[in-house]
Structure formats: structure tokens, C-alpha cells
Amino acid sequence: KNQVEQSPQSLIILEGKNCTLQCNYTVSPFSNLRWYKQDTGRGPVSLTIMTFSENTKSNGRYTATLDADTKQSSLHITASQLSDSASYICVGISNTGNQFYFGTGTSLTVIP
């Protein structure tokens, strides 16, 4: 069964600190893995897209890693800001079926 699991479910950090969010996926045949940021009351916005051949991809203070062997991905946020408070969603995409498999997200709260 294709699925994506994320941890932790929620996280609170101090402004300026770093954090890492985790994603385990079982999507086959695997095409690519994405991280989205979803602000409260808004639609998800893409942060990174990685294929199986890419180990790391950065978008500003966001760095995603992918280990295709262990089927794990992480999203590292550097020097967090209050505006980073949001839900971060990991999504696995299969090569077949035009379907996207969404994790339940990690709710990140950055406090002053």
C-alpha cells in the first residue's frame, strides 16, 4: 500500500533555532518526493521536488534530503522565523496513476 508517514506530528521551537522534520514513504514505483508548506487557511505551496537520483535540494533556508534506499526524507529549516509557523507536508508521487500520496503533516510553531 502506498503511504507517507511524517514525524513529529507537531513541534515548537524558538525563533532563530534550526529544526528537522522527517518523512518515511512507501510509494512504488517511485517518481519523486515533494515538501509543501501550508499556512493556516491557505492552500499548500511547494518547497522542493526531488527525484530518486537527488540527495539534497535547497530552497532558501529550507533543505530537503532524500535517501531512496531507506525511503526516508527530511526537511531541515535553518534559522527559523515566525513566518515559518505552518504545516509541512511530505508527498510521494508514483510513476503510474497520476496520484499523489500525502502525509498528515508536521505542525511547526515558531515562538519569539
Partner 1 sequence: NAGVTQTPKFQVLKTGQSMTLQCAQDMNHEYMSWYRQDPGMGLRLIHYSVGAGITDQGEVPNGYNVSRSTTEDFPLRLLSAAPSQTSVYFCASSKSGTGGYEQYFGPGTRLTVT
**Can residue 73 be called a binding residue for partner 1 (CB under 8 A)?**
no
CA dihedral angle for residue 70, residue 2, residue 32, residue 63, rounded to 10 degrees: -60
User: Whole-angstrom Cα distance, residue 76 to residue 99?
Assistant: 26
**Can residue 65 be called a binding residue for partner 1 (CB under 8 A)?**
no
Which residue in the set 21, 89, 108, 110 belongs to the binding site for partner 1 (CB under 8 A)? Answer: 89
Which positions ≥6 away from 74 have C-beta within 8 Å? 20, 21, 22, 23, 64, 65
Contact 38, 45 (CB under 8 A): yes
Contact segment (CB under 8 A) with partner 1 among 20-28, 46-54, 67-75, 76-84 equals 46-54
Residue closest to 81 by CA, chosen among 28, 16, 25, 37? 16
Q: Compare residues 27 and 80 and give the one whose CB is closer to partner 1.
A: 27
**Can residue 41 be called a binding residue for partner 1 (CB under 8 A)?**
yes
Query: Smallest gap, in angstroms, from Cβ of residue 80 to partner 1?
Result: 23
**Can residue 104 be called a binding residue for partner 1 (CB under 8 A)?**
yes
Q: Rule CB under 8 A: which residues touch partner 1?
A: 4, 31-32, 34, 41-46, 49, 51, 89, 93, 95-96, 98-105
